[in-house]
C-alpha cells in the first residue's frame, strides 16, 4: 500500500445509500475549510434518480442522485472516493462493485458486521489493484482543512475545537472511531494539530492496517510525527513493530495499545470491537506496548501519560526546527439550520400553513383534538369523523347519523347521469382510477349535484326575510334564476324521490326543529301548481335539512352557519358521497374489461 496522500482540497466522493446528516456534515466541513467545490459529487441510491437539496454554506445546492454505482462513476469521473453507508448485508457487494470502477481509489465501509470472508475478498482485490479500503466498522477519516468522510470528527463545534479546519503536522491512525475524536482533541491541545487522521475500524480483518497508514504518513512531507492508538486482540500492531525494526519509518511514532485492564478480569473479555479480544499473551495490550517500545516507538506507561508523550515529542521536533509554527486562521461561521435555531429559541420564523383540524405531531394523530385511539375505541363512525374534520366539533349522534344517511343516499344514481357517464368513458379509455374519478367529479356543478349549497343559501335567505313561497319563487323568476333544489327530470308529484322521503322521515323523528325543511315543502307546493315535475329534489332536501341541523343543534351561531354555506360544505358532502359511486363504476368497467367507448351515430343529430 504505502504511497502517500489519499485526499486533498480537490477530492470528491460518491456517497452510497443517502444519509442526510453525514453528507451535510461533510459539506459544512468543506465550507469551514474554504473549499471552492463540495466534496460530495454525487449520491447513489439504488433504484432512485434525481437530486437531493443540501446546503453548501449559505447556498442551497442540488446534488445528483444516481441509481447505480456505474452510472455515478461515469457521471463524475473525478470522484475517486466511495463512501459506503450500506448495511452489513449489502456493504461487501456494493464495495466490490465500487473497487472495480477505474475511477475509484479509496473505499470507506461504515457498516459493522460485514462477513469476514467478504472482507478478505475486498482486501485481496484492493491490494492487487493498488486501491485502499478503510473499514469495515469505521467512522472514516479526515485530512484537516481538506476533506472528511461522513461523520468523522463529529460536530462542527468539535471540529473547530480540534482545529481540523486547517492542517497540522501529526498523522494519526486508530482502530476506534470514538477514540479518534478524543485523540483529535488531545493532539490539538499539545501540538499544532492533525494533518490526517484515519480510523481503520474495529473488525478482526480491517481493509487497511495501522502500519499501512503509518508507512503512508512516512511518505507525506507535511506529516512530521505519527500517533498510533491500537487495542488488544489480533496482531496488527506487530506489522508496525516490524516496520520500525526494519527502519521503514524515519519519523517519530508515539503509540499506545489500549486494553491493559483486561488482565484485571479472571476470564477472557470481549471489548467493544469484534477484534478487541485477546487470543493469548501475544495479543495482550501489555505485550504489544512492550514490543512497540522495544522497536523504537515512544510508548507511555499509561493512557493518561499519552498526552504528555505526544507533547514532548512534538516540542522536540519544534526545537530541532523540523516543525514551523502554523499560522492560525479564523474559520467562517457555519450558518445555523433554521429548525435548530427555532428549537433553541434564537430566532422566530413565520409558518407557511395553518391547520386547525388535525395534528400528527404526537404519539398518534388527532382529529380536532380527539386522539385516533379514542375514535376507534369509542366506535366513531364516518359521520363523526366528518364532524371533527369539517365542523371542528363532535356533533350529536343524530347529526352524524344524518350525515351518513346523506352519503349513502347520494353515493350513486346509476350509470346514465353525467358524472358516472364520464367516469365510465374514462375508465374504458384505459385510464387509471384517479383520472376516472376526477373526470366524473368535474361534472359536479350547478346542473349536477352542486345545487345543495345554493338551495340552502336561497331557502335560508327567503325564510329569514319572511318571504312567502309566492314572493320567493316569483322573485327568483324575475331575476332569471331557477330555484335551486326544485325540479327533477324524472320524478314528479305522483312519482316522488324516495331519497327525499327518507330524509324527511328521519328529520321529523330526530331533529328538534325542521323549520327550513317545512318552508322548502311550502315552496314545493307552490311550484307544483306550475308544473308536475317541480318537486323538491334531493339537493333541496339536503340543503334545507342541513340548515335545520346547523341551527337546531345549538352548536353554531348565525355567522358560522352563513360561512359553512358560503364555503361550500354541503356540496362537499355530495362530492364525498358521489366519489363512492364513481369509484364503483370505474372498478365495474375494469372488472368487465369493457372496450373503448364510442358514441353511436344514431344518437347524434348531424346538422348544419
Q: How far apart are the C-alpha atoms of 216 and 211, rounded to whole Å? A: 8
What phi and psi values does residue 178 have, to the nearest 5 degrees? -65, -45
Is residue 351 scored above 90 in pLDDT?
Answer: no
Is residue 274 scored above 60 in pLDDT?
Answer: no
Greatest CA separation found in the chain?
118
Is residue 197 scored above 60 in pLDDT?
Answer: yes
Q: What's the confidence (pLDDT) of residue 188? A: 97
pLDDT in tens, 24-67: 999 999 999 999 999 999 999 998 999 999 999 999 999 999 99
Q: How far apart are the C-alpha atoms of 29 and 38, rounded to whole Å? A: 9
pLDDT in tens, 517-558: 999 999 999 999 999 999 999 999 999 999 999 999 999 999
- Are residues 187 and 172 in contact, defined by beta-carbon separation less than 8 angstroms? yes
Q: Name the most confidently modeled range: 198-207, 515-524, 564-573.
A: 515-524
Give 465's contacts (C-beta < 8 A, 6+ positions apart): none
| CB-count exposure of residue 385 (10 Å: 0-12, 13-18, 19+) | middle
Q: By mean pLDDT, which of 268-282, 399-413, 487-501 is the weakest? A: 268-282
Q: Of 81 and 344, which is predicted with more confidence?
A: 81
Alpha-carbon distances of 347 from 338, 339, 421, 481, 543, rounded to whole Å:
8, 9, 55, 55, 48
pLDDT in tens, 466-479: 999 999 999 999 99
Residue 577 pLDDT grade (very low, low, confident, very high; cuts 50, 70, 90): very high
> What's the start-to-end Cα distance of the chain, in Å?
89
Helix or strand (DSSP H, E) at 426: helix 418-428
Is residue 591 scored above 50 in pLDDT?
Answer: yes
Q: What's the confidence (pLDDT) of residue 276? A: 47
Overall average pLDDT of the 602-607 stretch: 94
| DSSP class of 43 | E
pTM over 0.75: no
Is residue 2 scored above 90 in pLDDT?
Answer: no
Task: Count Cα neighbours of 330 within 13 Å in the Cβ-side half-sphere.
Answer: 1
Cell numbers for 113: 458486521
User: How big is the CA angle at 530 (ends 525 and 531), to the nearest 5 degrees?
Assistant: 95
Q: How far apart are the C-alpha atoms of 425 and 409, rounded to whole Å? A: 24
Q: Kindly report whether the peptide bond that precedes residue 136 is cis, defined as omega within 30 degrees of 0.
A: yes
* Residues found in the chain: 608
Alpha-carbon distances of 359 from 51, 98, 132, 343, 385, rounded to whole Å:
30, 44, 50, 19, 14
Strand order in the sheet with 40-44: 50-56, 59-66, 40-44, 13-16, 81-84, 106-109, 132-134
Is residue 267 scored above 60 in pLDDT?
Answer: no
Q: What's the confidence (pLDDT) of residue 315? A: 97
DSSP helix/strand/coil, 171: strand
- Are residues 485 and 540 in contact, defined by beta-carbon separation less than 8 angstroms? yes
pLDDT in tens, 117-146: 999 999 999 999 999 999 999 999 999 999
Active site residues: 273
Is residue 87 scored above 90 in pLDDT?
Answer: yes
- Are residues 353 and 199 in contact, defined by beta-carbon separation less than 8 angstroms? no
Overall average pLDDT of the 106-112 stretch: 96
Q: What's the confidence (pLDDT) of residue 277? A: 52
Q: What is the mean pLDDT of the chain?
A: 93
Overall average pLDDT of the 276-296 stretch: 84
What phi and psi values does residue 112 have, to the nearest 5 degrees? -95, 160
DSSP helix/strand/coil, 211: helix
Q: Give me the helices (H) in 76-129, please.
A: 91-99, 116-128
Q: What's the confidence (pLDDT) of residue 263? A: 60
Q: What's the confidence (pLDDT) of residue 234? A: 84
Q: Of 266 and 434, which is predicted with more confidence?
A: 434
| DSSP class of 536 | B
| DSSP class of 379 | T
Q: How far apart are the C-alpha atoms of 64 and 49, rounded to whole Å? A: 8
pLDDT in tens, 372-401: 999 999 999 999 999 999 999 999 999 999
Q: By mean pLDDT, which of 278-287, 354-363, 397-406 is the weakest? A: 278-287
User: How big is the CA angle at 23 (ends 17 and 29), to the nearest 5 degrees?
Assistant: 155
Is residue 265 scored above 60 in pLDDT?
Answer: no
Task: Count Cα neighbours of 384 within 13 Å in the Cβ-side half-sphere.
Answer: 12
The string over 177-211, giving b where at least 16 C-beta atoms fall within 10 Å of a residue's C-beta and e elsewhere, is bebbbebbbbbbebbbbbbbbbbbbbbbbbbbbbb
Residue 238 pLDDT grade (very low, low, confident, very high; cuts 50, 70, 90): very high
- Are residues 175 and 210 in contact, defined by beta-carbon separation less than 8 angstroms? yes
Amino acid at each position: 500500500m504505502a504511497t502517500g496522500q489519499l485526499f486533498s482540497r480537490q477530492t470528491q466522493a460518491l456517497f452510497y445509500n443517502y444519509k442526510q446528516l453525514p453528507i451535510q456534515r461533510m459539506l459544512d466541513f468543506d465550507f469551514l475549510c474554504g473549499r471552492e467545490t463540495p466534496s460530495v459529487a454525487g449520491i447513489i441510491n439504488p433504484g432512485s434518480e434525481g437530486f437531493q437539496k443540501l446546503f453548501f454554506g449559505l447556498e442551497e445546492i442540488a446534488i445528483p442522485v444516481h441509481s447505480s454505482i456505474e452510472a455515478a462513476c461515469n457521471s463524475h469521473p473525478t470522484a475517486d472516493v466511495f463512501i459506503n453507508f450500506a448495511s452489513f448485508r449489502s456493504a461487501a457487494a456494493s464495495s466490490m462493485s465500487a473497487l472495480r470502477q477505474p475511477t475509484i481509489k479509496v473505499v470507506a465501509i461504515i457498516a459493522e458486521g460485514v462477513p469476514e470472508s467478504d472482507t478478505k475478498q475486498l482486501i485481496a482485490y484492493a491490494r492487487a489493484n493498488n486501491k485502499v479500503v478503510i473499514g469495515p466498522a469505521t467512522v472514516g477519516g479526515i485530512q484537516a482543512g481538506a476533506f472528511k468522510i461522513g461523520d468523522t470528527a463529529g460536530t462542527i463545534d468539535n471540529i473547530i475545537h480540534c482545529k481540523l479546519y486547517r492542517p497540522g503536522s501529526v498523522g494519526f491512525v486508530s482502530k476506534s472511531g470514538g477514540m479518534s475524536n478524543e485523540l483529535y482533541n488531545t493532539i490539538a491541545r499539545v501540538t499544532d494539530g492533525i494533518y490526517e487522521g484515519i480510523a481503520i475500524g474495529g473488525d478482526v480483518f480491517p481493509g487497511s492496517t495501522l502500519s499501512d497508514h503509518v508507512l503512508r504518513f512516512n511518505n507525506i512531507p507535511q506529516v512530521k510525527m505519527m500517533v498510533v492508538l491500537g487495542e488488544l486482540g489480533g496482531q496488527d500492531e506487530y506489522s508496525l513493530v516490524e516496520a520500525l525494526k526494519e527502519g521503514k519509518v524515519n519519523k517519530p511514532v508515539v503509540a499506545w495499545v489500549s486494553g491493559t485492564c483486561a488482565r484485571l478480569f479472571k476470564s477472557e473479555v470481549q471489548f467493544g470491537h469484534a477484534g478487541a479480544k485477546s487470543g493469548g499473551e501475544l495479543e495482550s495490550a501489555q505485550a504489544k506496548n512492550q514490543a512497540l517500545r522495544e522497536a523504537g516507538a515512544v510508548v507511555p506507561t499509561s493512557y493518561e501519560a499519552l498526552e504528555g508523550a505526544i507533547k514532548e515529542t512534538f516540542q522536540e521536533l519544534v526545537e530541532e526546527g523540523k516543525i514551523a509554527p502554523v499560522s492560525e486562521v479564523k474559520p467562517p461561521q457555519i450558518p445555523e439550520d433554521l429548525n435548530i435555531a427555532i428549537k433553541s429559541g434564537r430566532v422566530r420564523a413565520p409558518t407557511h400553513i395553518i391547520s386547525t383540524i388535525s395534528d400528527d405531531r404526537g404519539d398518534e394523530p388527532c382529529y380536532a383534538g380527539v386522539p385516533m385511539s379514542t375514535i376507534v375505541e369509542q366506535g366513531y363512525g364516518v359521520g363523526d369523523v366528518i364532524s371533527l374534520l369539517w365542523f371542528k366539533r363532535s356533533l350529536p349522534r343524530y347529526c352524524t347519523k344524518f350525515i351518513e344517511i346523506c352519503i349513502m343516499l347520494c353515493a350513486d344514481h346509476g350509470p346514465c347521469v353525467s358524472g358516472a357517464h364520464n367516469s365510465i368513458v374514462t375508465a374504458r379509455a384505459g385510464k387509471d382510477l384517479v383520472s376516472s374519478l376526477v373526470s366524473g367529479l368535474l361534472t359536479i356543478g350547478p346542473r349536477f349535484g352542486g345545487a345543495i349549497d345554493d338551495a340552502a343559501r336561497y331557502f335560508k335567505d327567503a325564510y329569514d326575510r319572511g318571504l312567502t313561497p309566492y314572493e320567493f319563487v316569483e322573485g327568483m323568476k324575475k331575476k332569471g334564476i331557477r330555484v335551486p333544489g326544485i325540479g327533477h327530470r324524472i320524478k314528479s308529484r305522483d312519482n316522488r324521490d324516495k331519497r327525499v322521503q327518507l330524509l324527511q322521515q328521519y328529520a321529523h323523528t330526530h331533529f328538534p326543529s325542521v323549520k327550513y325543511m317545512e318552508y322548502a315543502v311550502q315552496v314545493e307546493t307552490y311550484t307544483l301548481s306550475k308544473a308536475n315535475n317541480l318537486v323538491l329534489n334531493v339537493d333541496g332536501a339536503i340543503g334545507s335539512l342541513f340548515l335545520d341541523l346547523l341551527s337546531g343543534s345549538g352548536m353554531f351561531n348565525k355567522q358560522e352557519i352563513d360561512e359553512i354555506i358560503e364555503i361550500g360544505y354541503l356540496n362537499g358532502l355530495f362530492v364525498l358521497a358521489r366519489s363512492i359511486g364513481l369509484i364503483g363504476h370505474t372498478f365495474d368497467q375494469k372488472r368487465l374489461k369493457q372496450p373503448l367507448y364510442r358514441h353511436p351515430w344514431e344518437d347524434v343529430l348531424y346538422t348544419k
